[in-house]
Amino acid sequence: MNTLWKLTWTEAKLFLREPAAVFFTLLFPLLLLVIFGSIFGNAPLGDAGFGRVDRSVPGYIAIMIGALSLIGVPITLATYREKGILRRFRVTPLPTGLFLAAHGLVALVMVLVGTGLVIGAGVALFDVRLPASSLGVVGATVLGTLSFLALGFLLGGTLPTARTAQAVGMALFFPMLFLSGAALPRMLFPDLLKQISLYVPLTHVVTLLQNVWM
């Protein structure tokens, strides 16, 4: 356990030194919250009383999950393999599972920290209505993060270089960003796009978080 803690702490410090990972995971969702919240406001809509920002916050959490899993993790793992760091790990007594667990813990903590920042900013700036079940939202966030991390580990384990990982990760992330309902509500989509969005993995993370939240 002590080894896992040290490895996790080291990976967390390395993550915070990577500007792209910090921006997409922690700052990009906050930027979207402020921009769209300032444009549309958070006046209650419908009988449930949830406003536009209330309905958007779960999508911003899904953006963090997608960005970290599809861009951050694959680039890190591909960089480690490209520089021979993974080869050095193999000659140590540390099991591979411990290395993956450390990356998973860092990713999970960063998503939860980002979730707290988004919710805090939403409450402070737009009087966001908090979910009825905070534990339910945490559980859905953890489930979505672990599910997407599997895809991130797959990309990081197969793509040959960090540049390739970045290109493939962004090529997967940005279509998901706009087709999943994370950035724009799916209710605004034409019928064809609604059908296509059902085949986008991030759509189901957004749906899960929204259903638990509201």
Could you read off the pLDDT of 71-96 as tens digits, one per residue? 888 888 888 888 888 788 777 777 87
Q: How do residues 4-46 score in pLDDT, each as one tens digit? A: 888 889 888 888 887 777 887 888 889 989 998 888 888 877 6
Give the predicted TM-score (pTM) of the model.
0.89
Question: What's the rounded mean pLDDT across residues 35-59?
Answer: 82
Question: What's the rounded mean pLDDT across residues 52-62?
Answer: 90
Question: What's the rounded mean pLDDT across residues 98-124?
Answer: 90
Beta-carbon count within 10 A of 111 CB: 25
d(CA 182, CA 202): 8
Helix axes of 134-158 and 96-126: crossing angle, nearest 10 degrees: 130
Per-residue DSSP letters for 141-173? Answer: HHHHHHHHHHHHHHHHHH-SSHHHHHHHHHHHH
d(CA 41, CA 83): 47
d(CA 126, CA 53): 7
pLDDT greater than 70 at residue 204: yes
Provide the mean pLDDT of the chain: 87
